[in-house]
């Protein structure tokens, strides 16, 4: 088909009309993002659809109609019908509950939020494909696929050839001061860790024993460090704790409330797009419906989760992804547990990528990187703030060799949105923005989840932003700088809670919300609409299957809770969807279908 004409587009979806229908939990997040990207909402196509799915369609501006269907589950007979049952079935409850020793539901709509972002990604990618001469595609995604993607690293580790490098047992932050302040602690330096605790007179053996579980909490979603460390902080005021951190290089952050976050929230979009330069790249490969980014090259200089996941998603959509790794390769390739000698977690984010080793501290290697950027379509990184400019690798530098480049930065805090922000890591952003309060219902002590909620959602939002940048480039003929952040991901996740707070309503969910119910041999999770009624039954003497059957006889919907991600591989609710890669590592299904 002919490509839509190049126009002076400011927003990627400018001039397109959006029609949306279906359950608001599924349609709402995606529709909100599409409107932020410039789509104009049509009237007359709202409300529930008979099939229970959400339907989104974009049309106009020279594009063929582009549609997406969003469901709760790949298999509608699976018993997965809403947020609670998605969290239960996909292992989200199991991973989130590790610090507490039992499955626990997230009181935020994490799976539905991620699903909305995935739906937007699919639509944007298909429009990029159309703009490059490809066909329209029918996009499909589901919340259970989003849930599996969210736990993919934990699933990969559970199916590895060896065990975890650190113990998986209950325990973890937040800490509490003598005056009752809940706070998070962050440092990537064992020396700063030890100095902080010595400044508070913690026992030496507890300091030594605590570092390993603290260091590995990002991987294991728990941190069973000695109780003596909690006892230590309860003996000191918050002011003294802050002084100890300031003098040792560690960082601490008080857990903010949702009311505090709502009061300061600036209403900014979760990404920023800024066109620059000029230039339009002629497609070298005509994309297909299934691979709308075929022929595009992404250079990824990413660390840990956020940027690597964003690039991984772009690769699944057809782009050629080249990782920029330090001399000797990415040290996380060997992080246990491994499959055939390669880190299972690393494979979950990086399988299928090519890699080149570049020393960014070397002038010669930086020139080599500029040469690669001259031939690329996207440059994506999550270096520390200011590092790119210091190296001469900011967007102005790369635009000088490629004015059609989409330059993407996935950071922690965005562009000067939070004054005096702490280190921009997942758990610190959770603490600073109120996620710790939102993740747990009333009656429970606020605590950031030790599942990497924002790193994963930040990676999804980062990929969404890159796709918006690519569509802006294809429509406007200009390079684009794209910024996204963990802060933006937090804002997306907390949107409903912050709106409740601004209206003066209780922002947290009611006590007992999404609490799994114990059975004789496991746990079940009622659908949200059935939670209160199901909790009235004592199911502790019944096997899980019988407990589910009893609830069904009373017209109540529930599903079994996956207690260990290792069980997902053989779970009939996901029959045939979880495979193993060439290394033997478990691999989750692509989050969309495009046909």
Q: Are 305 and 456 in contact (CB under 8 A)?
A: yes
Query: For residue 1, what pLDDT is reported?
Result: 46
Helix (H, G, I), strand (E, B) or coil at 326: coil
**Sign (positive or negative) of CA dihedral 343, 346, 350, 356:** negative
Query: For residue 49, what pLDDT is reported?
Result: 61
Residue by residue, DSSP assigns 145-209 as HHHHHHTHHHHHHHTSSS--SS---S--PPEE-TT--EEEEE-S-HHHHHHHHHHTT--HHHHHH
Helix (H, G, I), strand (E, B) or coil at 428: helix
Q: Are 236 and 178 in contact (CB under 8 A)?
A: yes
**What is the distance between the alpha carbons of residues 110 and 126, in angstroms, rounded to a whole number?**
25
Domain boundaries, the chain: 17-163+264-502, 175-254
Query: For residue 51, what pLDDT is reported?
Result: 78
Measured CA to CA in angstroms, residue 151 lies from 92, 141, 344 at distances of 7, 17, 13
The count of other CB atoms within 10 Å of the CB of residue 359 is 14
Query: Tens digit of pLDDT per residue, the chain (595 long)?
Result: 445 544 555 699 999 999 999 999 999 999 999 999 999 998 545 455 667 899 999 999 999 999 999 999 998 888 899 999 999 999 999 999 999 999 999 999 999 999 999 999 999 999 999 999 999 999 999 999 999 999 999 999 999 989 898 999 999 999 999 999 999 999 999 999 999 999 999 999 999 999 999 999 999 999 999 999 999 999 999 999 999 999 999 999 999 999 999 999 999 999 999 999 776 666 678 899 999 999 999 999 999 999 999 999 999 999 999 999 999 999 999 999 999 999 999 999 999 999 999 999 999 999 999 999 999 999 999 999 999 999 999 999 999 999 999 999 999 998 878 989 999 999 999 999 999 999 999 999 999 999 999 999 999 999 999 999 999 999 999 999 999 999 999 999 999 999 999 999 999 999 999 999 999 999 999 999 999 999 999 999 999 999 999 999 999 999 999 999 999 999 999 998 999 999 999 999 999 999 9
**What is the distance between the alpha carbons of residues 527 and 530, in angstroms, rounded to a whole number?**
5
Provide the terminal-to-terminal Cα distance of the chain, rounded to the nearest Å.
16
Give 368: exposed, middle or buried? Use CB within 10 Å, 0-12, 13-18, 19+: middle
Query: For residue 50, what pLDDT is reported?
Result: 63
Structure token digits, residue 204: 């030496």
CATH architecture of 17-163+264-502: 3-Layer(aba) Sandwich (3.40)
Q: What angle do CA 246, 251, 253 make, to 5 degrees?
A: 115
Strands (E), 215-343: 251-254, 271-276, 297-301, 320-325, 338-339, 342-343
Structure token digits, residue 425: 């890591």
Query: For residue 6, what pLDDT is reported?
Result: 47
List 354's β-bridge partners, or say none. 322
List 228's β-bridge partners, or say none. none
Please enumerate in sequence order all residues whose Cβ is within 8 A of that of 77, keeping only pairs 6 or more positions apart, or say none: none
Helix, strand, coil in percent for the chain, rounding step 5: 40, 15, 45
Query: For residue 2, what pLDDT is reported?
Result: 47
Query: For residue 415, what pLDDT is reported?
Result: 82
């Amino acid at each position: 088909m002919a490509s839509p004409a190049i126009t002076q587009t400011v927003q990627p979806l400018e001039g397109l009309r959006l029609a949306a229908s279906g359950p608001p939990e599924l349609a709402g997040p995606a529709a909100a993002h599409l409107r932020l990207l410039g789509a104009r909402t049509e009237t007359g196509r709202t409300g529930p659809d008979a099939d229970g799915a959400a339907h989104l369609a974009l049309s106009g501006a020279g594009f063929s109609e582009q549609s997406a269907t969003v469901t709760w589950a790949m298999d509608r007979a699976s018993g997965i019908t809403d947020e609670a049952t998605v969290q239960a079935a996909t292992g989200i409850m199991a991973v989130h509950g590790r610090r507490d020793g039992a499955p626990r539901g997230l009181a935020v709509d994490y799976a539905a939020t991620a699903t909305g972002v995935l739906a937007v990604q699919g639509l944007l990618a298909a429009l990029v494909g159309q703009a490059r001469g490809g066909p329209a595609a029918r996009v499909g995604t589901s919340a259970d696929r989003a849930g599996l993607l969210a736990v993919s690293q934990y699933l990969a580790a559970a199916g590895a050839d060896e065990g975890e490098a650190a113990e998986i047992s209950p325990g973890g932050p937040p800490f509490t001061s003598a005056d009752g302040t809940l706070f998070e602690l962050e440092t990537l330096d064992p020396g700063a860790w030890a100095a902080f605790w010595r400044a508070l007179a913690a026992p030496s053996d507890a300091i030594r024993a605590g570092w390993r579980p603290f260091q590995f909490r990002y991987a294991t979603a728990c941190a069973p460090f000695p109780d003596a460390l909690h006892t230590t902080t309860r003996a000191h005021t918050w002011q003294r704790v802050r002084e100890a951190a300031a003098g040792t290089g560690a960082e601490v952050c008080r857990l903010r409330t949702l009311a505090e976050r709502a009061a300061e929230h600036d209403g900014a979009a979760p990404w920023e797009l800024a066109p620059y330069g000029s230039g339009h790249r002629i497609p070298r490969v005509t994309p297909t419906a299934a691979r709308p980014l075929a022929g595009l090259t992404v250079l990824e200089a990413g660390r840990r989760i956020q940027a690597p996941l964003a690039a991984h998603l772009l690769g699944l959509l057809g782009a050629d992804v080249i990782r920029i790794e330090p001399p000797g390769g990415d040290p996380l390739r060997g992080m246990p547990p491994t499959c055939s000698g390669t880190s299972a977690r690393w494979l979950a984010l990086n399988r299928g990528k090519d890699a080149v080793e570049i020393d960014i501290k070397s002038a010669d290697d930086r020139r080599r990187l500029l040469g690669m950027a001259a031939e690329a379509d996207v440059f994506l990184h999550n270096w520390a703030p200011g590092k790119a400019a210091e190296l001469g690798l900011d967007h102005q530098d790369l635009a000088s060799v490629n004015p059609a480049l989409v330059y993407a930065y996935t950071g922690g805090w965005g562009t000067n949105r939070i004054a005096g922000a702490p280190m921009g890591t997942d758990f610190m952003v959770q603490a600073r923005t109120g996620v710790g309060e939102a993740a747990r219902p009333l009656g429970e002590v606020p605590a950031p989840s030790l599942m990497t909620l924002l790193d994963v959602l930040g990676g999804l939002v980062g990929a969404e932003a890159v796709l918006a940048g690519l569509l802006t480039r294809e429509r406007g003929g200009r390079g684009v700088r794209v910024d996204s952040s963990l802060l933006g991901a937090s804002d997306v996740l907390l949107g409903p809670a912050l709106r409740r707070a601004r209206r003066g309503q209780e922002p947290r969910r009611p006590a007992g919300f999404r609490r799994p119910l114990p059975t004789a041999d496991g746990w079940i999770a009622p659908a949200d609409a059935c939670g209160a009624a199901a909790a009235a039954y004592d199911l502790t003497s019944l096997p899980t299957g019988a407990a589910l059957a009893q609830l069904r006889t009373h017209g109540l919907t529930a599903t079994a809770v996956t207690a260990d991600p290792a069980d997902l591989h053989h779970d009939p609710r996901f029959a045939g969807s979880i495979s193993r890669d060439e290394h033997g590592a478990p691999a989750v299904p692509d989050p969309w279908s495009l046909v």
